[in-house]
Structure 1
Amino acid sequence: MIGAGFFLTLNDAVLKWLTGDYPVGQIMFLRGVFVFLPIAFFVWQAGGAKSLRVRRIQPHLLRGALMVAGTFLFINGLRHLPFADAISITFAGPLFVTALAAPLLGEVIRWRRWLAVIIGFIGVLIIIRPTSEVAQWAAIFPLAASVTGALRDILTRKMSQHDSSVAVMFYSTLAVTFAGGMTFLGGWAPVQTSDLGLFLLCGILLGFAHFLMIEAFRLAEAALVVPFKYVSLLWAVLLGLVIWGDIPDGWTFAGAGVVVASGLYILHRERIRKTKT
C-alpha cells in the first residue's frame, strides 16, 4: 500500500498538470488507454488471457462504475483545488472504509475504532473549513471521491479472494476508458505531442499503483491496509510545493494531522486485536 500510494501521488501530480488543458473525460480516456500497457505486462506474467477469467462479472461491473465515478470526481477536485488540499480531503477514504467494513465485510469494529473514525471526520472538517474559501463547492469532489473509493476498496477486498489482481484491474480500467471515450461527443481538446508522454507516464504509474493496491487488499484486511495510504500526504505536500508553489496553511496541516492520527490509531487497535486472537 505504501508503494501504491507513492505511484498514485505521482500520477495525481501529472493529472493536475493536464487538467488545465484537457476536459476530464478526455483525460480519463487517454490515461486509460496507456494503463493497458502495464496491464498487458501483468497479464503476460500471470500466464496469459486465462488470468482474466472471473467467477462473476457483476462485481466487476460495480467496481468499474465506482472507478468511473471516483475518477471523474477526483480529477475535477484536482482541477479546482490546491494539490495538497485535494489529497488531504481524500484521506477521509480510509475512515469510510473502516466505518463500512463492519456491515459490508463482517469485520469487527469496536468502540475505540468508531471513536477514531469520528475524530478523523472532524479532521476532514478542519481541512474543508465550512466558513472558508477552501470549502467552496469544489471540496465536494474529492470528498465524494473518497466515498466511492472506500466502496471500491471494500469491494476489492471481496473480489480479490477469488479473482486475480490483473483481472480486477483490467475490467475496471476498461470501464473508465470506455466512459471517458463516451465524452468525445462533448468536445475534446487537440492533444499536444509533448503531452502524450505525460499521458503515458500517468498510465504506467496508475497501472502499477492499482496492481499493488489490489495485492495489498488480497493479503490483509481492509481496516489494516488502508491507513498506510496516509504516507501519500508527505509526497503530496512536496510535489505541490515544488511544481505549483502551493504551501498548505496551518489549518490544512492540523486537519490532515488529525485524520492521519485517527488512521494510525485504527491500525494500532487492529494490531492489538490480532495479537489477542
Structure 2
Amino acid sequence: MTRNDTRLGVWLMVATTFVFAMQDGISRHLAAEYNVYMVVMIRYWFFAAFVISIARRQAGSVAAAARTSQPLVQGFRAALLTLEIMVMVLAFVYLGLVESHAVFACYPLLIAALSGPVLGEHVGWRRWAAIGVGFVGVIIILQPSGGVFSPYAIIPLIAALMFALYGLLTRYVARKDTAATSFFWTGTVGAVVSTLIGMWFWEPMTAADWGWMALLCVTGATGHYLLIKTYEVAEASAVQPFAYLQLPFASALGLVVFGETLRPNVALGAALIVAAGLFTLARARRKAQG
C-alpha cells in the first residue's frame, strides 16, 4: 500500500543515496584488487536471491512476478543495467569516485533529452536549455582542449548513457508491468548475464575481502530495499532531486578514504550538471501537476 509522506520519503532517499555511495566505495576497493566482472557477478548472485524473495512477497509467487507481455524489452533493460554497472565500476578503478560521479550525474539530463525519441514525450525549450547547460558542465569536467584530457573520462559518460536508456526502458515497461515484475527481471536476468561474463574471470579472494564482498552484497540489497520504500511513501517527483546526494557522498568517500583530489573544473562542471538536472526535474514536476 502506498501513502504520501514526503518528509519520510526524503529521509529514505537520503539514506538510499548514502548506502549506494558506500556500495560504490566497496566496489572501488574490490575492483582495484580483483577482476571487475567477478566482483559484479558475485554481487548479482546475492541481489537475485533478494529480488526473488521480494518479488514473491509482492506478486504472490515467482511465476506471477515473472509474467510479462514484453519479455524482450524486460530482458534487454536488465542486461543493460548489468553492463552499465560493470562499466561504472571500471570508471571507479581508472578515474576514482569523485570524477566518475561528477560525469555520471548527467544521466537525468540524458533521460530528459531521450524521452522524446524513446517515449514520445514533449520536451520544451526550457528543459532543452537546461540540458545544454548540463552538457557544458560535462565538457568543463572532461577538458577536451585543456591538454589533460584522459580517454578514461569517457567511461562514466558511457555508463550514464546506458543508465539513462535503462531508466527510459523502465518507464516504458511500467506501462504494462508492475514494479515487482520489473524488479524480478532486473535481478534474475542480471545474475545470468553477469555470470556468463564473470565466470571466465574467477580469482581467489582473501578472507578479509570476502568480508568486504559480503558487505557489498548487503549494501546492494539494502539500497534497493530503501529505494522501494522511498517510492512507496512519497511521489517520485518530490524525492528525486535528493538522489543527487550520491554525488557528494561518494565524492567525500573518494577524498577521505581513497585520497582522491577535487579539481576546480570538476567542482564547477558538477555544479552546473546538478543545477541543470534539478531544473529539469522541477519543470517535469510542474508539467505533471499542471
Q: TM-score range by the shorter chain?
A: 0.7 to 0.9
CA drift of 1:26 comes to 0.4
1:38 to 41, 47, 50: 50
| Letter matched to residue 71 of structure 1 | I
Structure 2 counterparts to residues 195-206 of structure 1, below 5 A: 195-206=209-220
The alignment of Structure 1 onto Structure 2 pairs a total of residues equal to 275
Does 1:5 pair with 2:38?
A: no
| Letter matched to residue 38 of structure 1 | F
Does 1:242 pair with 2:256?
A: yes
State how far apart, in whole Å, the 2-side matches of 1:132 and 1:190 are: 41
State how far apart, in whole Å, the 1-side matches of 2:65 and 2:271 are: 41
CA drift of 1:176 comes to 3.0
Does 1:22 pair with 2:60?
A: no
Query: Which secondary structure state, in structure 1, belongs to the residue aligned with residue 32 of structure 2?
Result: coil
CA drift of 1:160 comes to 2.6
Does 1:116 pair with 2:125?
A: no
Does 1:256 pair with 2:270?
A: yes
* Larger displacement relative to structure 2 (209-218 or 131-140): 209-218
| Letter matched to residue 207 of structure 2 | T
Q: Deviation string for 1:26-72 (max 9, x for gaps)?
A: 01211111113432441343133223322321111110231132122
| Letter matched to residue 115 of structure 2 | A
CA drift of 1:256 comes to 0.5
| Letter matched to residue 204 of structure 2 | P
CA drift of 1:214 comes to 6.8
Structure 2 counterparts to residues 74-223 of structure 1, below 5 A: 74-132=88-146, 135-183=149-197, 186-210=200-224
The verdict on how the C-alpha distance between 1:78 and 1:31 changes in structure 2, with shifts beyond 3 A counting, is: same
| Letter matched to residue 92 of structure 1 | C
* Larger displacement relative to structure 2 (255-264 or 46-55): 46-55
Partner in structure 2 of residue 232 of structure 1 = 246
Paired residues of 1:91 and 1:146 also in contact (CA < 8 A)? yes
Query: Which secondary structure state, in structure 2, belongs to the residue aligned with residue 135 of structure 1?
Result: coil
Gaps in structure 2 of 5+ consecutive residues: 1-12
State how far apart, in whole Å, the 2-side matches of 1:93 and 1:224 are: 18
2:61 to 29, 48, 63: 48
CA drift of 1:195 comes to 1.9
Identity within the alignment, %: 27
State how far apart, in whole Å, the 2-side matches of 1:229 and 1:134 are: 30
The verdict on how the C-alpha distance between 1:216 and 1:140 changes in structure 2, with shifts beyond 3 A counting, is: farther
State how far apart, in whole Å, the 1-side matches of 2:87 and 2:198 are: 18
Give the aligned CA root-mean-square deviation in angstroms. 2.6
User: How does the TM-score come out when normalised to structure 2?
Assistant: 0.84
CA drift of 1:215 comes to 7.7
CA drift of 1:227 comes to 4.4
* Larger displacement relative to structure 2 (246-255 or 52-61): 52-61
* Larger displacement relative to structure 2 (158-167 or 81-90): 158-167
Paired residues of 1:70 and 1:148 also in contact (CA < 8 A)? yes
The verdict on how the C-alpha distance between 1:18 and 1:138 changes in structure 2, with shifts beyond 3 A counting, is: same
State how far apart, in whole Å, the 2-side matches of 1:71 and 1:81 are: 15
Gaps in structure 1 of 5+ consecutive residues: none
